[in-house]
Amino acid sequence: MNKPTVAVYKFSSCDGCQLSILNLEDELLDIAAAVEIAFFLEARRRTLPGPYDIGIVEGSITTPHEVERIQEIRNQCRFLISLGTCATAGGIQALRNFGKVEDLAISVYPHPEYLHTLETSTAISEHVKVDLEIWGCPVNKYQVLEAIMALLQKRKPQLPAHPVCLDCKRQGTVCVMNAMGVLCMGPVTRTGCGALCPSNGRGCYGCFGPSPNAEIKNMAMTLSQMQHVPGEAVRLARNFAGYAPQFRELADALQKAEVKK
């Protein structure tokens, strides 16, 4: 029988999520034995023509060319996965969505007239139908492995989505919010990193995006009361996954609370 074909694509991003796939090392050999890696420029020079069974897309849509390209990829792939926070929420480059791209271009580039970009940086799902989202900056490589194996076994992927706080409890990590007064996105951020930052005495930055059923209003109230300087909580909410709808709601609520003060 022919093996399922997999294609991995990059859009506006840092390549970190593709590297997470390569970091599977031994497991990657098992994947390569089970599927045909037909297109993955980060990993191999050889490419095979589509259509493909599984498409994995890293990065956000930031240029007119990328809008056209993602449409073509969607037509080529039977099952499409958006990989990482750039692909699921616009990524760190979506910070420009909260201002004017012309002003940012003038301050960064000596010749902004050469740029050909969109006003916003957006998730893959805002342009085409996405069958599965894997969050993270970068992604958890074992979640990627689970997603691929689930597709091969024709079952639903089992991807955890509980808040980071639960990881801290399970690991016996002292809560940085309660013990140290450090602002932390853990209560509203989905698991995936193993509570890396809180385990090292730092607040969660929300890299893995909002957890389902996150208590945004309660979180806004807590962060507003805890912040040390005005605007600190808003900047935290507008971070790696800041353009995700729930985190935008959080930042808006924090701004309104500051206006009332």
- Dump pLDDT digits (tens) for 210-241: 999 999 999 999 999 999 999 999 999 999 99
Supply the pLDDT for residue 110: 92
Supply the pLDDT for residue 28: 85
* CB contact at 8 A, 164 and 202: no
Helix H or strand E segment including 143: helix 141-152
Helix H or strand E segment including 120: none
Tell whether the model's pLDDT for residue 98 goes beyond 90: yes
Supply the pLDDT for residue 2: 85
Supply the pLDDT for residue 195: 96
Dump strand ranges (E) for 21-104: 36-40, 52-58, 77-83
pLDDT tens digits, 61-86:
999 999 999 999 999 999 999 999 99
Band the pLDDT of 249: cuts 50, 70, 90: very high
Band the pLDDT of 257: cuts 50, 70, 90: confident
The domain segmentation of the chain, as residue ranges, is: 5-152, 164-260
Supply the pLDDT for residue 36: 94
Share the mean pLDDT of the chain: 94
Band the pLDDT of 261: cuts 50, 70, 90: low
Q: Which of 160, 172, 208, 154 is nearest to 17 (CA)?
A: 208
- In order of 85, 93, 104, 112, 206, the CA distances from 89 in angstroms are 5, 10, 20, 25, 12
**Which letter does DSSP use for residue 136 in this model?**
B
- What average pLDDT does the segment 4-23 reach? 95
Is residue 139 classed as helix, strand or coil in its secondary structure? strand
The set of residues, in sequence order, having a beta carbon less than 8 Å from that of 198 and lying 6+ positions away, is 164, 168, 173, 175, 176, 184, 186, 204
- What average pLDDT does the segment 190-198 reach? 96
pLDDT tens digits, 153-168:
999 999 999 999 999 9
Supply the pLDDT for residue 29: 85
The highest-level CATH class for domain 5-152 is: alpha beta
The single residue listed with the structure tokens 């995006």 is: 209
Going by their DSSP bridges, the two strands 77-83 and 132-134 should be labelled as: parallel
Per the rule left: phi > 0, alpha: psi between -120 and 50, beta: everything else, 5 is beta
Tell whether the model's pLDDT for residue 176 goes beyond 60: yes
The set of residues, in sequence order, having a beta carbon less than 8 Å from that of 29 and lying 6+ positions away, is none
Tell whether the model's pLDDT for residue 30 goes beyond 90: no
Q: Report d(CA 196, CA 138) in Å as an integer.
A: 12
The single residue listed with the structure tokens 């050889």 is: 46
Residue type, 147: A
Q: Report d(CA 91, CA 84) in Å as an integer.
A: 8
Band the pLDDT of 1: cuts 50, 70, 90: low
Tell whether the model's pLDDT for residue 53 goes beyond 90: yes
Tell whether the model's pLDDT for residue 102 goes beyond 70: yes
